Amino acid sequence: MATVEMKKPSLCTAGPVSSASIRDPLKVLQMIATSSYGPTGRLKQVHNGSGGYVITTSQSSALISGLSISHPVLQLLVSSIRNHISSFSDCGLFALILCCNLIDRCLTLPLSPHKIITINNSLLNMCLSYLTSEACACKLKVDFSCNSSFIDLTRSVLCSKPACMLTVKEVDYITVLVVKSFLFRVPAESTSNVLLGRTVMVPVEGLSVMESTLIPGVLIEMPGSSWNRTLDLSYMPSADIKLALFSVSLSGDFGDTGDGFVDVMDGVDPEEVMLEQLLALGKRLVDDHVHILVCQKVIHPSLKQYLKEQKMLAVERLGAALMEPLSQMTGAQSIASLSSLYSTCYGSLRQISRMSHGNKQYLHLIPCDTSVCSFVLCNRNETSLKELVRVCQTAEHTLNQLLKDPWLLLGGGCAETHLAAYVRSKSTNIHSSDLEELNCSVAEYKLASDCFSSCLESTARSLEHDGGDTLTDLQDGHFWSLPPNSTPDIILHHCTETKQKCGCQLLRKSDDTVWSMLGSAYKPFSPRSSTDVYQLFMSKEPLVLDSFSGKYNGLKVAVNTAGLILDLAYVIKDEN
In this prediction, residue 101 carries a pLDDT of 96
- Higher per-residue confidence, 213 vs 337: 213
| Mean pLDDT computed over every residue of the chain | 87
3-state secondary structure of 190: coil
In this prediction, residue 65 carries a pLDDT of 85
Instruction: Tell me the helices (H) and strands (E) count for the chain, helix number first.
Output: 18, 21
Above 80 in pLDDT, residue 471?
yes
- Higher per-residue confidence, 121 vs 67: 121
What's the rounded mean pLDDT across residues 194-208?
A: 89
Rounded Cα–Cα distance for residues 444 and 448 (Å): 6
Least confident stretch, 195-199, 364-368, 457-461, 509-513: 509-513
Residues 6 or more apart whose CB falls under 8 angstroms from that of 147 comprise: 179, 183
| Cβ-based neighbour number of residue 514 at 10 Å | 11
In this prediction, residue 260 carries a pLDDT of 62
**Phi, psi (deg, nearest 5) at residue 196:** -70, 150
DSSP class of residue 368 equals S
Degrees, nearest 5: CA angle 411-495-548: 10
pLDDT band at 226 (very low <50, low <70, confident <90, very high): low
Residues of the chain with CATH 3.30.260.10: 143-188+195-215+376-405
Rounded Cα–Cα distance for residues 21 and 77 (Å): 15
- Higher per-residue confidence, 66 vs 264: 66
pTM over 0.75: yes
In this prediction, residue 321 carries a pLDDT of 86
What's the pLDDT tens digit per position in 501-516? 899 998 888 777 888 9
pLDDT band at 47 (very low <50, low <70, confident <90, very high): confident
What's the rounded mean pLDDT across residues 294-300?
A: 91
pLDDT band at 412 (very low <50, low <70, confident <90, very high): very high
Residues of the chain with CATH 1.10.560.10: 12-138+410-573
**Phi, psi (deg, nearest 5) at residue 463:** -75, -20
Residues 6 or more apart whose CB falls under 8 angstroms from that of 278 comprise: 250, 252, 300, 302, 303, 338
Long-range contacts of 17-23 (CB under 8 A, 24+ apart): 17/73, 17/103, 17/107, 17/565, 17/566, 17/568, 18/107, 21/71, 22/71, 22/73, 22/74, 23/104
Residues of the chain with CATH 3.50.7.10: 218-256+267-369
pLDDT band at 474 (very low <50, low <70, confident <90, very high): very high
Above 80 in pLDDT, residue 227?
no
What's the rounded mean pLDDT across residues 153-171?
A: 96
3-state secondary structure of 46: strand
Candidate CATH numbers 1.10.560.10, 2.40.50.140, 1.10.3430.10, 3.40.50.300; the one for domain 12-138+410-573: 1.10.560.10
DSSP class of residue 228 equals I
In this prediction, residue 228 carries a pLDDT of 55
If we measure between CA atoms, which residue out of 471, 570, 542, 548 comes closest to residue 168? 542
Domain spanning 143-188+195-215+376-405: CATH 3.30.260.10? yes
Rounded to whole angstroms, what are the CA distances from 18 to 15, 21, 425, 558? 6, 8, 31, 19
pLDDT band at 336 (very low <50, low <70, confident <90, very high): confident
Rounded to whole angstroms, what are the CA distances from 137 to 268, 427, 455? 77, 18, 20
The number of C-alpha atoms within 13 Å of 205 and in the hemisphere containing its C-beta is: 7
- Name the strand (E) or helix (H) holding 289: none
In this prediction, residue 570 carries a pLDDT of 79
CB crowding 7-41: b at 16 or more within 10 Å, else e:
eeeeeebeebbeeeebeeebeebbebbbebbbeeb
pLDDT band at 414 (very low <50, low <70, confident <90, very high): very high
pLDDT band at 2 (very low <50, low <70, confident <90, very high): low
If we measure between CA atoms, which residue out of 295, 246, 293, 301 comes closest to residue 271? 301
In this prediction, residue 455 carries a pLDDT of 97
In this prediction, residue 360 carries a pLDDT of 87
What's the pLDDT tens digit per position in 10-35? 777 777 777 777 888 899 999 999 99
pLDDT band at 235 (very low <50, low <70, confident <90, very high): confident
3-state secondary structure of 84: helix
Amino acid at 121: N
Residues 6 or more apart whose CB falls under 8 angstroms from that of 432 comprise: none
In this prediction, residue 201 carries a pLDDT of 95
pLDDT band at 102 (very low <50, low <70, confident <90, very high): very high
Give domain 218-256+267-369's CATH superfamily: GroEL (3.50.7.10)
Above 60 in pLDDT, residue 490?
no
Least confident stretch, 27-41, 484-498, 561-575: 484-498
- Kindly report the three-state secondary structure assignment for every residue of 424-450: HHHHCCCCHHHHHHHCCCHHHHHHHHH
What's the rounded mean pLDDT across residues 164-185?
A: 95
Above 60 in pLDDT, residue 168?
yes
In this prediction, residue 484 carries a pLDDT of 80
- Strand 407-410 with 468-473, pairing: unpaired
Least confident stretch, 2-6, 178-182, 434-438: 2-6
